[in-house]
């Protein structure tokens, strides 16, 4: 096997959920191509991602996608220095497709294969194309994950807090379903909330009550129950446009306030001046404006990924791969997928089923 020189382009593949993605990156951070084949439409009618359907669609999409990524980058497979793939966390049948494809391709070319952690890709995504990564607090908020991590540099992570049940995006999506909005509903709640009053209805800000203030963990499953009971008591509200707007604004406020306050507390406690946010929910307008305001007030810097790097993509995975490959790391071809892989050795245990439920 030819070892990675640190100079050739690398191919990264992402298939942990319902997006098949392939990207080619030239070190240290030039994206030569980045393509995504989304299957969201295939899953929308089920109201969530069906693992076997995702797996089947990855299988159909992956080879044409990689060929196109190579063509757009203007290179041939022989120019590649290494191939990396998301190995976890994620849906096992979906991960298997990307990982098997990457291993087979790397073996055929005689170049290194590298197993990647999906969360690390999100964590580093705000810094793609930048010269350095500051010591910072990262808020990762997506449909599958919600965690606060202290990032000292690539590969050096301590998870400070995480969700004990639903992820923030999952909470948005489940409430959206109760309100009869489409899947994924986070975007729709965010849009409707813009013309609503966030103080109109008080929904629980979980893990923010007295005695729970100190924890940096999150819990969002109680919110959807509370919204369900609220809707049963006030069925007329969701029929009026203003009622819906106020409801969405109040729900968004309950979720976003907890995220902002716990992130602020983590940054203060660690004595840091940099906050980064990543994952699909990082697109939320109230979260962005709340964190911007916080950072302006405190004199902290806020690092945001570009919109195309916020949702699942392979460019962020390739960027994470570069750091490991240039440090001389690679993975053996017998390494299994890791559907419940976490970042950081200090990560506390998480109850079963919460990790990759969507």
Site residues (vs ligand KG4, CB under 6 A): 17, 142-144, 169, 172-173, 184-187, 190, 279-281, 283-284, 311-312
DSSP single-letter state for residue 220: -
Cα gap 337→116, rounded to integer Å: 10
Cα gap 285→291, rounded to integer Å: 10
Shortest Å distance, C-beta 254 to Zn ion: 23
Asked if 14 interacts with Zn ion (CB under 5 A), we say: no
Shortest Å distance, C-beta 120 to Zn ion: 11
Of 1-9, 21-29, 139-147, 255-263, the window that binds Zn ion (rule: CB under 5 A) is 139-147
Q: Which two tokens stand for residue 78?
A: 């022989």
| Cβ-contact 74, 32 below 8 angstroms | yes
Asked if 142 interacts with Zn ion (CB under 5 A), we say: yes
Q: Which does 330 bind (CB under 5 to 8 A by kind): ligand KG4, Zn ion, none?
A: none
Shortest Å distance, C-beta 112 to ligand KG4: 26
Question: Strand runs (DSSP E) across 112-155, as ranges?
Answer: 113-117, 136-141, 146-153
Shortest Å distance, C-beta 268 to ligand KG4: 25
> By CB under 5 A, what part of segment 306-335 binds Zn ion?
312
Asked if 147 interacts with Zn ion (CB under 5 A), we say: no
Shortest Å distance, C-beta 311 to ligand KG4: 3
Q: Which does 281 bind (CB under 5 to 8 A by kind): Zn ion, ligand KG4, none?
A: ligand KG4
Of the pair 260, 281, the CB lying nearest Zn ion is at: 281
Long-range CB pairs of 237-246 (<8 Å, 24+ gap) are: 238/179, 238/180, 242/195, 242/196, 244/179, 244/192, 244/196, 245/192, 245/193, 245/194, 245/195, 245/196, 245/197, 246/196, 246/197, 246/200, 246/201
DSSP single-letter state for residue 117: E
Of the pair 21, 133, the CB lying nearest ligand KG4 is at: 21
Alpha helices in 28-184 (DSSP H): 40-44, 51-73, 92-109, 118-124, 168-178
Of the pair 219, 311, the CB lying nearest ligand KG4 is at: 311
Positions that interact with Zn ion (CB under 5 A): 142, 312
């Amino acid at each position: 096997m030819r070892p990675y020189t640190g100079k050739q382009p690398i191919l990264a593949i992402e298939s942990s959920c319902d997006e098949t993605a392939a990207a080619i990156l030239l070190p240290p951070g030039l994206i030569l191509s980045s393509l995504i084949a989304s299957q969201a439409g295939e899953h929308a009618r089920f109201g969530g991602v069906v693992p076997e359907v995702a797996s089947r669609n990855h299988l159909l999409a992956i080879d044409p996608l990689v060929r196109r990524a190579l063509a757009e980058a203007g290179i041939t497979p022989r120019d590649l220095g290494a191939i990396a793939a998301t190995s976890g966390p994620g849906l096992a049948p979906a991960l298997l497709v990307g990982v098997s494809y990457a291993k087979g391709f790397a073996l055929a070319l005689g170049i290194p294969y590298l197993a990647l952690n999906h969360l690390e890709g999100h964590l580093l995504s705000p810094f793609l194309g930048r010269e350095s990564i500051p010591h910072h607090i990262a808020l990762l908020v997506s449909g599958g994950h919600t965690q606060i991590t202290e990032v000292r540099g690539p590969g050096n992570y301590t998870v400070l807090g995480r969700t004990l049940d639903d992820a923030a995006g999952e909470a948005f999506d489940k409430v959206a379903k109760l309100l009869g909005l489409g899947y994924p509903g986070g975007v729709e709640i965010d849009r409707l909330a813009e013309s609503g009053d966030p103080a109109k209805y008080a929904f629980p800000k979980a893990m923010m009550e007295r005695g729970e203030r100190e924890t940096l963990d999150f819990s969002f499953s109680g919110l959807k129950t509370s919204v369900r009971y609220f809707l049963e008591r006030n069925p007329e509200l969701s029929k009026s446009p203003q009622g819906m707007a106020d409801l969405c604004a109040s729900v968004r406020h309950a979720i976003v306030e907890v995220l902002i306050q716990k992130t602020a507390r983590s940054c203060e406690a660690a004595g840091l001046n940099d906050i980064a946010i990543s994952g699909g929910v990082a697109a939320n307008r109230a979260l962005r404006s709340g964190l911007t305001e916080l950072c302006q007030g405190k004199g902290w810097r806020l690092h945001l990924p570009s919109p195309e790097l916020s949702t699942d993509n392979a460019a962020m995975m390739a960027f994470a791969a570069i750091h490991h490959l240039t440090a001389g790391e690679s993975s053996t071809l017998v390494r299994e997928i890791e559907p419940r892989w976490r970042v950081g050795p200090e990560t506390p245990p998480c109850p079963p089923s919460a990790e990759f439920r969507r």
